[in-house]
Amino acid sequence: MKNILLWLCPVFLFLSGNTVWAETGTATVREYRMAWILTYNEDIKSGESIRKSVEEARKTGLNALLPIAHRRGRAYYNSSFLPVYNPGNISPPLDTLQAFIDAAHDTSEGKAYIEIHPWVVLFPVWLDDYDPPEKHIAALHPQWATRKYGEEPESSGRKPRIWLDPGVPGVCDYFVEVCREIVSRYDVDGLNLDYIRYYEGGHGYNPIALERFRKRYGRTNTPEPGDARWQEWQREQITNLVRRIYVETKMIKPRLKLSICSIVWGNPDKPFPESAFYSRVMQDWPSWFQEGIADINLPMNYRSEEDPQRYRDFRSWARICRKNSAGRLFVNGLGNYLNTISGSIAQIRAGKRAGADGSCLFRFGVNNSENKPYGTLLEALAGGTCHVAASPPGCPWLENPQTGMIRGFVKKEDGSRPVDGIKITLKGGVEKIRHTDGSGYFAFVGVAPGEYQVAVTAPGEGREEKRGVNVQKGRISSVDIDL
């Protein structure tokens, strides 16, 4: 690998030497220093190249890396059910995720531990200009693809651009299994969800999703993209998936840190109902942190420091993210590829002033907008040091949980099919209400210890079924209900 992280070392040399990372100057610094990694980059070809890149990251003071693990329907690890990305047709394929874990978790000879948070890109599964191969998820389940309002399915003569639809139950089941497989088979510290949103521009009109919506609300028409009830239902589909991934992965690794690539597009002065994340892509991320179904808010706050409007918006969105992360971690995502070295430094400082728990650079292996040679950067920043270490911030709700969770499925009595969109009421203490997803799944998080009842009324019968459940600190209780 040709100095893949030399771009980063000068930045962090400068940052450490000029108290950007370590404002207090103390030996103990608690903040995230992250970077997203495109593991399909041509420089990431072997275990040796990965070890070298991780070691360079370690020398710069990074303490968490986010390598891609799922992208466009392919696995960057040894999956039991997904096609494995293997451009060189190596036999056996390189287990990219395991190679990163081995290098990053190696603390021999005093090496610093680096966390690994696999980067899972969800709904856009095929964007190439040819049809997907037969074992690809888009080829196995073409009926899962989303559609645009008023648009018929794309003909074979048009360029494929396939996003799976969040309103299709099988799609959500698929992504839950992807996340469960990664977390259960690999020693990961976190999980990063990206593209956890609708394809913008009036998408979401898959026939399966439309039928679910119509049945839920007793409608026969096709709602327009701006229909308030339709948008509310779409946001519910995304939120249900985030909640389900959160709970199901915590069943495997209770201290796993789930991060969200949140949308911070457009004007930060607009009220949330008019914001792009809420009304264009149906990603109601503030509610996720309020509910406690995500641990790290990782906004993609990619803006040029040179543009006055973007300069202002970057800082405004950072303050908004801090305010609306509900006490969970907020790590500011930076577009270093858009900025000069000094611009990235200014943004890291601005994030810290806004109360960020660290920064995450997009992306690993990219230099800066100046295109300066690495040697020039090293010479210009030769006086810096990169020895100031930082540990990741604590997550007390994971390390010392004071609440528990409840999860389960509602199905017909014979177990033949799930009950979709039915109201579930948690009784005892503060009453909470959820609706099952398309697979009949429901979950409650942040439940105080004690005895509760989970109640559901059979559709069309008025018959209420109740199940008692005991909630304990740091535990997940399962309750399944047959109607």
Q: What pLDDT shows up at residue 11? A: 40
Mean pLDDT across 368-372: 69
Rounded CA-CA distance 85/73 in Å is 9
Compute how many other C-beta atoms are within 10 angstroms of the C-beta atom of residue 292: 17
Cis? peptide before 363, omega within 30° of 0: yes
Q: Which of 269, 284, 360, 283 lies closest to 315 in space, CA to CA?
A: 269
- Strand 32-37 vs strand 358-361: parallel, antiparallel, or unpaired? parallel
Rounded CA-CA distance 38/57 in Å is 14
Rounded CA-CA distance 418/456 in Å is 13
32 and 358 Cβ atoms separated by less than 8 Å: yes
Mean pLDDT across 240-246: 98
- List, for residues 47-76, the tens digit of each pLDDT value: 888 998 898 778 777 899 999 999 999 999
Exposure of 456 in the CB half-sphere (CA atoms within 13 A): 26
Structural domains of the chain in order of their starting residue, each with its CATH number: 8-399 (3.20.20.80), 404-482 (2.60.40.10)
Does the structure show a pLDDT above 60 at 154?
no
Q: Left, alpha or beta for 89 (phi > 0: left; psi -120 to 50: alpha)?
A: left
Does the structure show a pLDDT above 50 at 382?
no
For residue 116, the cross-strand partners are 65
Q: What pLDDT shows up at residue 172? A: 98
Compute how many other C-beta atoms are within 10 angstroms of the C-beta atom of residue 245: 25
pLDDT band at 348 (very low <50, low <70, confident <90, very high): confident
pLDDT band at 378 (very low <50, low <70, confident <90, very high): very low
198 and 171 Cβ atoms separated by less than 8 Å: no
Compute how many other C-beta atoms are within 10 angstroms of the C-beta atom of residue 398: 16
Give the DSSP letter string of 171-236: HHHHHHHHHHHHHHHS--SEEEEES-SPPTTTB---HHHHHHHHHHHT--S---TT-HHHHHHHHH
Q: What pLDDT shows up at residue 55? A: 85
End-to-end CA distance of the chain: 59
CA angle at residue 91 from 90 to 92, to 5 degrees? 110
Rounded CA-CA distance 430/31 in Å is 35
The average confidence (pLDDT) of the chain is 88
Compute how many other C-beta atoms are within 10 angstroms of the C-beta atom of residue 18: 15
Give the DSSP letter string of 312-343: HHHHHHHHHHHHTSTTSEE-EEE-GGGS-HHH
Count Cβ neighbours within 10 Å for each residue of 30-59 and write b for 16 or more, e otherwise: ebbbbbbbbbebebbeeeebbbbbbebbbb
Tokens representing 308 are 């006055």
Mean pLDDT across 95-104: 96
pLDDT band at 301 (very low <50, low <70, confident <90, very high): very high
164 and 145 Cβ atoms separated by less than 8 Å: yes
Give the DSSP letter string of 296-311: EE--EE---TTSHHHH
pLDDT band at 21 (very low <50, low <70, confident <90, very high): very low
Q: What pLDDT shows up at residue 222? A: 97
